[in-house]
Amino acid sequence: MQALIEKANTLIEALPYIKNFFGKIFVIKYGGAAQVDAALKDAFAQDIVLLNFIGIHPVVVHGGGPRISEMMKKLGKEPSFVHGQRVTDAETMDIVEMVLGGLINKEIVALINSHGGMAVGLSGKDGSLIRAEKKVVKRRSPETGEDEIIDLGLVGRVKEVDTTILNNLQEKNFITVVSPIGIGLHGETLNINADYVAAALAGALKAEKLILLTDVPGILKKDGKVLSTLRGRKAGGMIEDGSVSGGMIPKVQACLQALKAGVGKTHILDGRLSHCLLLEIFTKEGVGTEITQ
């Protein structure tokens, strides 16, 4: 009987959060181990379906870098990166679009639907959802000491978001799953970092939350403990002083971008933790790092 009472107490603890978030939009970037491990994939889909059934509108944005590299090698093409960003020529872009939009996106849609949701897959090209422009990257030349422009090919940055198609699907209670592909100024297809796409969508939708799933517990202090809450200004300073580095940089930058665009709160969570979404959203303690204004 005590175990049953504890279950009831858990539901009661979640009640104020359910009331506060009813009708709100959450944009969730899905990647890392949560997108690979079978048990974590099921837990993620269950979380998304539950959010939708209690009146929260989840929008899922996914990546898929390892799967793209795997497919490239199968097709005899070696992946190339500059500053952690994939160099994307026309042939690589075809592979990127095939893997992200045709393989991964539909897998996620089918997984959510198998748990009782109504999901539909989109890319940024659908309904002109994501207008993009080529991303310019500079690096210091070791020979001259001056900045030089690096051509990454068909790599883009979000220029404009048209949420019409998302709004229409939301009205019909569909869960949208978006692959991070945009359409360029001249109709070309551009590959975009999924963290930045999620931030741009969250800002355009005036989402209550932007949530990024990662393969680390959150942003760490120098003693290795997780920072549970962090102000945006402090987070920006941690990038400047090197406390935040590597793959965590675009995630923190995405959070800061979303906050600047009016998103309520942002979260960086450990996607290796089963049901991390529910633990962060519906419990007082939460998990991971919350970044606020």
Active site members: 29, 32, 65, 195, 251
Exposure of 127 in the CB half-sphere (CA atoms within 13 A): 15
Buried b (16+ CB within 10 A) or exposed e, 42-65: ebbbbbbbbbbeeebbbbbbbbbb
3-class DSSP state for residue 83?
coil
Buried b (16+ CB within 10 A) or exposed e, 213-242: bbebbbbbeeeeeebeebebeebeebeeee
* Diameter over CA atoms, the chain: 74
**Residue 69 CB neighbours (<10 A):** 17
Nearest residue to 166 via CA among 197, 145, 212:
197
Q: What is the DSSP letter of 178?
A: E
